[in-house]
Amino acid sequence: MVVFSFFIFDRHCECIYLRQWLDATAAAAQPLSRPVTASSAATNTTSVAEKPAAGNKLSMAEQAKLVFGVIFSLRNMVKKLCGPDDSFLCYRTGQYKLHYYETITSLRFVMLTDIRTENLKSSLHQIYVNLYVEYVVKNPLSPVEHPGGEGVNNEMFELGIDSFVHLDFISWTLELDVVFTNDTPYEITLVGADTGLRIVVNVGYFSATNNKNSSSSSPSTPTFHHTSKMAKRPNIIVTGTPGTGKSTHCEMLAEATGLKHLSINQIAKDNNCYDAFDDELKSWTVDEDKLLDTIEDDVKKGGHIIDWHVCDVFPKSWIDLVVVLRTDNTILFDRLKARDYPDNKIEENIDAEIMQVILDEARDAYDQEIVIELRSDKVEEVESNVDRIAAWVEQWQKDNQESED
């Protein structure tokens, strides 16, 4: 992967960080001696960001404006054509590929790379979670807003971006130069640093076995047997009264951790796990036995985020953490009203939230120490909750890895 440039735009559409390593438009691009950053634009009146980039008629600041205009239009076009749930991910020209990631708080991360690079959505998300949130959002010296890029260009953030670009940690190739001398199978284990995914690859054995029955005298090729197994991964329930933000949290959490999001409402629908239709509440009641049978094999393997407003039906032995989301009644009322729920359904949900029905159910069904209650009133809380749960997942995996070894 070759990275040409990187931009961050804030929710006011201002470019708060820009950096260029190579000029995408120059055929024989040369690395710049120093990257161009928004910080240099903010501190230097003859800023390099204002100068045209080598081999390009546009200055970096002009490029940033152009890039923002393009992504803004494409993003809006995608939403208009395919609905609000669809999102713009990338586009490609003959010279470069533009990758796009937008956070729930409307921060926009844009990276220009060579055209062969795979989609970088999850890498940009990782930059957001592991670098931006860590070194900019949580930096006590950094302001809340970043006019002119203030607070974004700190040393740790820049170092992190550098290692991303130079170490190219998202794509790698393992090249083996091994002489196989006998029939002993060789095995290597690859462990994903972020995901904990463990792949055991039997890289094979020289072809004595392969060619036993072959009369061919040509040099034989090693045979490769691939097996894979997952390291242990936790199962998490994210529960709460309808409208508290379960799906919103689960989607972000799945992205941040690589765990699989199981939307129980969707699974029940897809597998017809229904008992009857409740006419009063205008909703189906779920056949819980059928539901559990449907998901049992998958969930028992670990690595799932179970998203449902009911939590106490899942056996204790399946579950490692229960997150109960809580929302202020008036905020919840507005969210449910926006869904056009009938009044009695809204009332029932608001009552359940006031009486903390789901929190009590969780505490009754599972050990107290694995049940946590998190606020979900504001958008910022989604991000901090997801960070917190993702950190828990990471620690859980380390602990369980260590105890396995």
Ligand X SMILES: Nc1ncnc2c1ncn2[C@@H]1O[C@H](COP(=O)(O)OP(=O)(O)OP(=O)(O)O)[C@@H](O)[C@H]1O
Between residues 32 and 352, which has the closer beta carbon with respect to ligand X? Answer: 352
Q: Annotation-wise, does 248 bind a ligand?
A: yes
The tokens describing 316, both together, are 């204790």
Q: Annotation-wise, does 232 bind a ligand?
A: no
Residue listed under structure tokens 């803004």: 72
- Is residue 196 a contact residue for ligand X (CB under 6 A)? no
In Å, how far are 90, 244, 327, 377 from 334, measured between CA atoms?
A: 34, 11, 11, 11
Q: Could you give the CA distance from residue 329 to residue 347 in angstroms, rounded to a whole number?
A: 10
Q: Could you give the CA distance from residue 65 to residue 15 in angstroms, rounded to a whole number?
A: 8
| Residue nearest ligand X by beta-carbon distance | 245
Smallest distance from the beta carbon of 309 to ligand X, in angstroms? 5
- How many of the chain's residues bind ligand X (CB under 6 A)? 16
Say how many C-beta atoms besides its own lie within 10 A of residue 110's C-beta: 24
Over the window 298 to 317, marking each residue x when it contacts ligand X by CB under 6 A and - when it does not, the resulting string is -----------x--------
Residue listed under structure tokens 């060789």: 186
Q: Which of residues 43-62 bind ligand X (CB under 6 A)?
A: none
Say how many C-beta atoms besides its own lie within 10 A of residue 263's C-beta: 17
In Å, how far are 68, 311, 313, 344, 368 from 308, measured between CA atoms?
A: 38, 7, 10, 20, 19
Q: Could you give the CA distance from residue 161 to residue 73 in angstroms, rounded to a whole number?
A: 27
Residue listed under structure tokens 């039906």: 313
- Is residue 379 a contact residue for ligand X (CB under 6 A)? yes
Between residues 168 and 334, which has the closer beta carbon with respect to ligand X? Answer: 334
Which region, judged by CB under 6 A, interacts with ligand X, from 150-158, 216-224, 315-323, 376-384? 376-384
- Is residue 381 a contact residue for ligand X (CB under 6 A)? yes
256: left (phi over 0), alpha (psi -120 to 50) or beta: alpha
Q: Which of residues 240-279 bind ligand X (CB under 6 A)?
A: 240, 242-248
Q: Which of residues 335-354 bind ligand X (CB under 6 A)?
A: 335
Between residues 294 and 349, which has the closer beta carbon with respect to ligand X? Answer: 349
Q: Annotation-wise, does 148 bind a ligand?
A: no
Q: Annotation-wise, does 301 bind a ligand?
A: no
Between residues 65 and 335, which has the closer beta carbon with respect to ligand X? Answer: 335
Smallest distance from the beta carbon of 366 to ligand X, in angstroms? 19
Between residues 158 and 383, which has the closer beta carbon with respect to ligand X? Answer: 383
In Å, how far are 200, 204, 221, 227 from 187, measured between CA atoms?
A: 7, 7, 17, 10
Residues at the interface with ligand X (CB under 6 A): 240, 242-248, 309, 335, 376-379, 381-382
**Which residues are part of a known binding site for ATP?**
243, 245-248, 339, 378
**Which residues are part of a known binding site?**
243, 245-248, 339, 378
